[in-house]
Amino acid sequence: MSTDQQVAHDLDAYAKSLDRAHVFHSWSAQGALDPLVIAGGSGCRVWDHAGTRYLDFSSQLVNVNIGHQHPAVVAAIQEQAALLTTISPPTANLARGEAARRITDRAPAGMSKVFFTNGGADANENAIRMARLHTGRDTVLSTYRSYHGNTGSAIVATGDWRRVPNQYSRAHAHFFGPYLYRSEFWASTPEEESERALRHLRRVIECEGPGSVAAILLETIPGTAGILMPPPGYLPGVRALADEFGIVLILDEVMAGFGRTGEWFAFDSYDVRPDLITFAKGVNSGYVPIGGVVIGDHIASDFDEAVFPGGLTYSGHPLAAASVVGALDAMEAEGVVANAKRIGTDVLGPALADLAERHAVVGEVRGTGVFWAIELVADAATKAPLPAALMGRAKSALMERGLLPFVTDNRIHAVPPCVVTDDEVAEAVAAYDAVLTLLDGEI
């Protein structure tokens, strides 16, 4: 090993030792952690100090939509840092205003204002606050298969296991959304699943008391829960129920928004208009923490005279706002959203469908754009999920082949940056194919 190689390996070891000594990681038992060291990145690749490279098909936490270290976004942050690094929210700032304009330009008509937050969780917190104030009601309905963030109301709105030890917020109820592969409604077609899921939601509203329900909070396409594609008519049906009972519809686009599905907003593919949109992640690919709520004018006008009782020190932070401007302008100029759509339709989607045909361990593939799930099963007939030990082996095997995967429960999520190329998809699919072949031999 050369001196330079030794220095690089020592840097990786030192970074890991610092992490283990001083960093407390989220959603983890701390003792057994062995975190991957990432020293740099470019486009769809990341690497450690020693130069071991990975093709990033996780987009980290499904947020690096424009890819790592995009020069236009980096330059926008640098230029703003040289001009003004921070300013308080009550002031007006050009970067903040330009970011808000670019976001609302892509939103439906009648949604002309943005409340900026630090990320997706507090975007959902403030959307819930707005809905409660607008309706004078308390209850928030959300699905069991969902994730909305790790703050007071957002984590209770979340449906998965992370809600259970964190139930400190009032007036939340959950219902089952559509998921035909594991239908809660004994459905056999997408149309049946949609109809029966909507009937179930109506009954939940009726049983909770329509006059008590402030909001229905939905991920347009549930992400962490499994990239669960809404069946035909479902989202318009939810909109109709919200209108019937005077309920605010909040669509959580934190993971699905800004190119991930091959559209600026995931709901652009569906005949639905929300009252409030929450966003974060993809709006600037996570280069600087930012999120927000796009507010329907009919709700924003409530606060023309009344005080909105919410705020954050870093709301619309100039560095974050500048990164939004840089990211959205570059995505527009470079056709990044169109690339994500083409990749999903012509390249990644067909390749994953082929894997599903050839591998017994694959129960289902589903998705759109660069937002896909490969659901793995131990038995195709019973749909029994692949055990955790085998999922762990799959993750390790993918990383050994130079692929950084997103593995959760019994699924591999294929979620590369929106700038991914055809050749990079082929490289990832080859790794998936090899690992699925290994898993076929284990079931």
- Give 278's Cβ-side CA count (13 Å radius): 32
Q: pLDDT value at position 242?
A: 98
How would you label 356-394 residue by residue, b for 16+ Cβ within 10 Å and e otherwise? beebebbbbbbbbbbbbbbbbbbeeeeeebbeeebbebb
End-to-end CA distance of the chain: 41
Q: How far is CA 205 from the centre of its chain?
A: 26
Amino acid, res. 64? V
CATH numbers and ranges of domains, the chain: 36-69+335-440 (3.90.1150.10), 71-333 (3.40.640.10)
pTM for the whole structure: 0.96
Q: pLDDT value at position 168?
A: 84
Show Cβ contacts of residue 264 under 8 Å, excluding neighbours closer than 6 positions. 106, 257, 258, 337
Write the burial class of residue 422 (CB in 10 Å: 0-12 exposed, 13-18 middle, 19+ buried).
Answer: middle
Q: pLDDT value at position 1?
A: 73
Query: At 130, which helix (H) or strand (E)?
Result: helix 120-135
Residues 339 and 331: their CA atoms lie apart, in Å, by 10
- Consecutive 10-residue averages of pLDDT for the chain (443 residues): 82 94 94 94 97 97 98 98 97 98 98 98 98 98 96 90 86 97 98 98 98 98 98 98 98 98 98 97 98 98 97 97 98 98 98 98 98 98 98 98 98 98 98 98 91
CA angle 122, 127, 129 (to 5 degrees): 95
Task: Report whether 228 contacts 184 (CB < 8 A).
Answer: no
